[in-house]
Amino acid sequence: MKHFTFTLIAICMAVGVILTQAQDSLNVTMVGSLDDYWDEACGVALSGTVAYVADGSVGLRVVNISNPLIPMEIGFYDTPGNTRAVVLSGNYAYLADSEHGFRIVNITDPAHPVEIGYYDTPGNATGIAVSGNYAYVADGNSGLRIINISVPANPSEVGHYDTPGSANGVAVSGNYAYIADGDSGLSVVNVTNPANPVAVGFLDTPGFANNVVVMGNYAYVADGDAGLRVIDISSPSSPNEIGYYDSPDYANTVVVSDTLAYVADEVGGLRVVSISNTSNPVEIGYCEIPSYARGLAISGNYAYVGAAYADFRVVDITNPASPAEISSYETPGAAMRTAIFGDYLYIGNHEGGLRIIDITSPQNMTPVGVFNTPGTAYGVAVADEQDYAFVADGAMGLRIIDVNDPANPTEVGSYDTPGNAWSVALSSHYAYVADQSAGLRIINCSNAVNPVEEGYYDTPGNAYDVAKAGNYAYVADGNSGLRIIDVNTPTNPTEIGFYNTPGNAYSVAVSGNYAYVADYFSYVRVIDITNPANPTEAAVYNTPGRAVGVEVAGNHVFVADHDGGLRIADITNPTQLYQVGFYNTPGLAQDVVVSGNYAYIADLYHIVILDCHPALPVSSISRLETPTTFSLSPAYPNPFNPTTTFNYNLPVTAHVQLAVYNLLGQHVATLLNRMVSAGSYSTVWNAGNFPSGIYFCRLETVGFVQTQKLVLMK
């Protein structure tokens, strides 16, 4: 058999140089994202009625606290790393962004923060202090880095000091920087000359120094499981511990206000400590926080506590002996599963319930409605003929939500399944629920107010997902693989076949005679279900991550590949899949739903919309007869403004690259770069962003080369 391979050979004026680099995407581009999902609030800084929250993997969050009873998020900036700390100065927020170093964000308009400069420190930036024209960055194992910020758009390092431990936090007072240096305690560095910082003293605290605040002659160190340590720094070369407070859990952050120290103490919540006698600090009050207390800021009578698991708590400290939480901004949970109906995206949002997003404009998604289900929303399906969303709500079973008014969803009925409802599929007036350890449950929802279970089948594994096709329900059953259940009689569902996949079956989609199983570390398994009683494996699609979600649209399978992002493969021949596109999403891809050329990814702490049209099949003119020769027909129209269409024939399935060059031979556009099945096709070049002039379109293979001239006239 003769094999044809298409390659792209640049038009060279003299010498050609090939450069290679790691790719983050292929034939897929992000067109929109909704970062309405918080991670862990590690740090908080205040400016007037606005709180700026360092929120781990989802960057900087901006919260209006003008009414402490009703804090509301008004803006965000999604940094490239994990934001661990934030400091404000003038119109700028300075961020310690872990492995992505030091970021400077303009906050003139708090609703639209914009990054204007950054410096990529060599370590993991976790703490920051700003004094004058310098930012002092606690950079983990790379110690203290001193950054000149006189020109915010171009920050530059001027000096550094390699601390003996792991620099976690830093405070600057006078000519000294005080560094919370992990298991090496407190380090004192003279920064009179920022280009040549010099260590002058240290104190090895008994715990793990996370954070430090300096007030007068004292440094207050949040020392992990050793609580709060009070250090006399009147002689910087000889710091001396004079007192301590052993907090009940793990001291992350400390803030000092007058004679009180406030400690964010992980499970211990907010602790209020009197330091009027620095040699004998005493707790006078505390407030328990529902999740781990990490970040902390004080303003007037309120403490603002950043917590793990997407929480921002407001505590009234008018009476320090009896602090009380008065409100919280409990951000949405993790985006797990998605469904689309009309112009709306429905998200099973874990502990955040059901979220409804208007996707009329994919580039500008807008949250419109929320229903906080009583359980943990793992899956969601929307009935085409009804105004109901069906939510698989974990331990609280199946919830039926009226979404006729997407801005005001209301629950109309529920059925408490015996297991842990993980996913739901709809057919006619039945809901098929993958109920983990309780297998498949079949719920009659003809009366949405009073749904009733008609039958069930207790699968041998853990039912994570279900797809309904014809008379069969296909269950992704964890380590028991794919189970095929005859549901023709809903009151008596019966297993008729199964296929034990090698991994952990998390998701399943059915198209024609094939079931596509997302099998976690064992990739995507393609199962031939022509004979449901004897399913057989037809192919495997090797993905780089952990396949946890799968959807089939047309001739393509879309895979939510966890840390591998989105993967797209052509399934024209289900026994020979090949990848046509991918996109490394910013989070962890949990699920995917497709509408037209767009893929909507539940990316744990993000919702990401990807334009996949370059990866999808270009418009086929005819698949009835396979062409016998390669050809590239003349573009039409030509001359053109701004679009023109190319028609081409492929006699065999092969990797195709179709590219455009300018008159100098410079590559300006890639129109196609993937495997394409044999057939006749057309593709469109939109040159709206290109200047008028002469261009060349080139299609080339080992046995075939064709280039044609194009004239763009505007």
397 vs 383, residue with greater confidence: 397
- 381 within a domain of the structure (yes/no): yes
- 346 within a domain of the structure (yes/no): yes
- 360 within a domain of the structure (yes/no): yes
Query: Which of 583, 589, 581, 600 has its CA nearest to residue 24?
Result: 583
334 vs 458, residue with greater confidence: 458
User: Which domain-ending residue is among 539, 561, 580?
Assistant: 539
pLDDT in tens, 144-166: 999 999 999 999 999 999 999 99
Q: How many CA atoms lie within 13 A of 515 on its CB side?
A: 35
- 161 within a domain of the structure (yes/no): no
- 623 within a domain of the structure (yes/no): yes
8 Å CB contact between 265 and 255: no
Question: Which of the 8 DSSP states describes residue 635?
Answer: P
Q: Which amino acid is at 235?
A: S
- 309 within a domain of the structure (yes/no): no
CATH number of the domain at 683, please.
2.60.40.1930
The yes-or-no verdict on residue 624 having pLDDT over 60 is no
Same-domain check for residues 623 and 483: no
> 43 - beta bridge partners?
54
- 30 within a domain of the structure (yes/no): no
Question: Which of the 8 DSSP states describes residue 10?
Answer: -
Same-domain check for residues 534 and 625: no
Burial class (CB in 10 A: 0-12, 13-18, 19+), 307: buried
Span 354-373, mean pLDDT?
82
203 vs 658, residue with greater confidence: 203
Q: What is the pTM of this model?
A: 0.60
384 pLDDT band, cuts 50/70/90, is low
Same-domain check for residues 529 and 642: no
Separation of alpha carbons 174 and 216, rounded Å: 10
User: Which domain-ending residue is among 490, 511, 539?
Assistant: 539
Contacts of 695 (CB under 8 A, 6+ apart): 660, 661, 662, 663, 668, 687, 709, 710, 711, 712
Which pLDDT belongs to residue 309? 59
- 358 within a domain of the structure (yes/no): yes
675 pLDDT band, cuts 50/70/90, is low
Residue 488: CB atoms within 10 A of its CB come to 11
Mean pLDDT (the chain) is: 87
656 is in which domain, residue-wise?
A: 619-712
The yes-or-no verdict on residue 191 having pLDDT over 90 is yes
Same-domain check for residues 658 and 535: no
Helix H, strand E, coil C: the string for 529-572 is CCCCCCCEEEEEECCCCCECEEEEECCEEEEECECCCEEEEECC
Same-domain check for residues 383 and 512: yes
Same-domain check for residues 352 and 443: yes
User: Which domain-ending residue is among 509, 539, 569?
Assistant: 539
8 Å CB contact between 690 and 697: no
| Tokens 């809901």, residue located | 431
Same-domain check for residues 344 and 483: yes
The yes-or-no verdict on residue 328 having pLDDT over 80 is no
Total domains in the chain come to 2
pLDDT in tens, 51-95: 898 888 778 888 888 888 777 778 888 888 889 999 999 999 999
Q: How many CA atoms lie within 13 A of 294 on its CB side?
A: 24
pLDDT in tens, 12-54: 222 222 222 345 677 677 666 555 556 677 888 888 889 898 8
Which pLDDT belongs to residue 481? 98
pLDDT in tens, 447-474: 999 999 999 999 999 999 999 999 999 9
Same-domain check for residues 411 and 504: yes
Least confident residue range of 230-234, 368-372, 537-541, 691-695: 368-372
pLDDT in tens, 570-623: 898 899 898 888 999 877 899 999 887 889 998 876 788 888 877 775 543 333
Which pLDDT belongs to residue 88? 94
